[in-house]
């Protein structure tokens, strides 16, 4: 919320006519010069302006005015509105000040490079450009293409971060959803693969088991092993 009241000069007229506040207090509250407030009291300034009551508009309270009237060095405090109005979203192309129009091609180039999902109409709304200029920058046929530098439109003040995020999220919703198949099981012919002719076994990852005993190797005789164990006498 701004620190200055709505219609400051009309508010100053009302405060001069309906309160005993000093010129300095009124000037500080209305963001005017004390001599201008004195001119309002003398009828030399703001002639014909109807006073605006800051109490009915919720910018001041009677208690706040009474406290400041008792203490001439006390500054008036602007009342905080208890009602928050929703932000009105603009319609149509954004108006760009003359001082910022030279920055629009740089902002368009930044949007084209960093957010290719944005449609032409969305870029036109964000920076207030025309379709001809947008197509010229896309096709590199703009008269100043060689000197363009991609710059964030939020940094340039051509749009707010909220507006940019809104258009990007809207463009993301229009994208087709890619099916995520995730991990799948390996085919049965791979997991149940038999030994090859050389006796090597290949596991599911394609590695070969070289430690499997071959058929020609001598098998261990368990009977002879246990017979030798029976002949051993326990130590006393």
Q: Note the pLDDT of residue 155.
A: 84
**For the chain, what is the domain count?**
2
Q: Which of 126, 153, 173 is the last residue of a domain?
A: 173
For residues 37 and 23, is the Cβ–Cβ distance under 8 A? yes
Does residue 184 fall inside a structural domain? no
User: How much is the average pLDDT of 41-62?
Assistant: 84
For residues 210 and 196, is the Cβ–Cβ distance under 8 A? no
* 110 and 45 within one domain: no
Structural domain including 30 reads 8-70
Please list the residues that pair with 208 across neighbouring strands: 202
Residue 145 has a CB neighbour count (10 Å cut-off) of: 13
- pLDDT surpassing 90 at residue 203: no
pLDDT tens, position by position, 9-41: 889 999 999 999 999 999 999 988 999 888 888
Percentage, residues of the chain above pLDDT 90: 20
Q: Which helix (H) or strand (E) holds 153?
A: helix 153-156
* 103 and 164 within one domain: yes
Q: Which of 29, 51, 70 is the last residue of a domain?
A: 70
Q: Note the pLDDT of residue 1.
A: 43
Nearest-angstrom CA–CA distance, 188 and 204: 10
Q: Note the pLDDT of residue 137.
A: 92
Percentage, residues of the chain above pLDDT 70: 65
Does residue 26 fall inside a structural domain? yes
Q: Note the pLDDT of residue 43.
A: 82
3-state secondary structure of 234: coil
* 105 and 148 within one domain: yes
Residues in the chain: 236
Nearest-angstrom CA–CA distance, 159 and 111: 12
Q: Which helix (H) or strand (E) holds 209?
A: strand 208-209
Nearest-angstrom CA–CA distance, 100 and 104: 7
The mean pLDDT value of the chain amounts to: 77
Does residue 217 fall inside a structural domain? no
CA angle 30, 34, 36 (to 5 degrees): 85
């Amino acid at each position: 919320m701004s620190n200055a009241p709505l219609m400051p000069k009309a508010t100053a007229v009302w405060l001069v006519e309906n309160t005993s506040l000093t010129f300095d207090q009124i000037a500080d509250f209305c963001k005017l010069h004390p001599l201008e407030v004195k001119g309002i009291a003398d009828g030399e300034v703001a002639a014909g302006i109807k006073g605006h009551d800051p109490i009915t508009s919720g910018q001041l309270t009677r208690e706040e005015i009474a406290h400041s009237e008792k203490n001439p060095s006390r500054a008036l405090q602007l009342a905080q509105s208890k009602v928050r109005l929703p932000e009105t979203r603009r319609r149509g192309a954004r108006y760009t000040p003359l001082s910022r129009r030279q920055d629009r091609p740089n902002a368009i180039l930044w949007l084209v490079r960093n957010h290719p999902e944005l449609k032409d109409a969305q870029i036109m709304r964000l920076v207030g450009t025309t379709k001809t200029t947008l197509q010229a920058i896309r096709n590199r046929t703009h008269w100043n293409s060689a000197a363009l530098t991609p710059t964030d439109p939020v940094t340039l003040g051509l749009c707010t971060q909220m507006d940019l995020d809104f258009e990007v999220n809207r463009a993301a919703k229009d994208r087709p959803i890619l099916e995520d198949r995730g991990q799948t099981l390996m085919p049965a012919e791979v997991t149940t693969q038999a030994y090859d002719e050389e006796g090597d076994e290949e596991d599911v990852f394609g590695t070969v088991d070289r430690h499997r005993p071959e058929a020609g190797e001598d098998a261990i005789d368990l009977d002879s092993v246990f017979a030798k164990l029976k002949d051993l006498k326990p130590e006393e």
